Amino acid sequence: MIITTTPSVEGRNIVDYKGIVFGEVISGVNFVRDFAAGLSNFFGGRSGAYEEELINARAQALHEMEQRAMSLGANAVVGVDIDYEVLGTDNGMLMVTASGTAVVIQ
């Protein structure tokens, strides 16, 4: 499966459009990660705990989008966009959404 942010795949022709596909992941951040991130914020530096959570959520959203494209008979997803949002009353949830157009290319 080719997944790209571009509207086409160079050297390949889109022969069928299967539709828009999405992958969504909502992930909670726990107390330990909040505490570790708070220390990083206080002392300076990067928050490895939050970065790891973001990387995992993005990978899961892309995988879910890919699975949905495959179920439509697509072999590529073009025009992919990834969005991030914090949710919840205390901003304790991270939502990652991947979307794109499922296509068949030759």
* Helix (H), strand (E), coil (C) string for 57-83: HHHHHHHHHHHHHHHCCCCEEEEEEEE
Q: How far is CA 38 from the centre of its chain?
A: 25
104 within 8 A of 75, measured Cβ to Cβ? yes
For the chain, the DSSP string reads -EE-SSSS-TT--EEEEEEEEEEEEEEE--HHHHHHHHHHHHH-S--HHHHHHHHHHHHHHHHHHHHHHHHTT-SEEEEEEEEEEEESTTS-EEEEEEEEEEEEE-
- pLDDT, position 39: 47
Q: How many other C-beta atoms can be found within 10 angstroms of the C-beta atom of residue 27? A: 16
Per-residue pLDDT tens listing for the chain (106 residues): 999 999 999 999 999 999 999 999 998 765 445 544 554 554 555 556 677 888 899 999 999 999 999 999 999 999 999 999 988 777 778 899 999 999 999 9
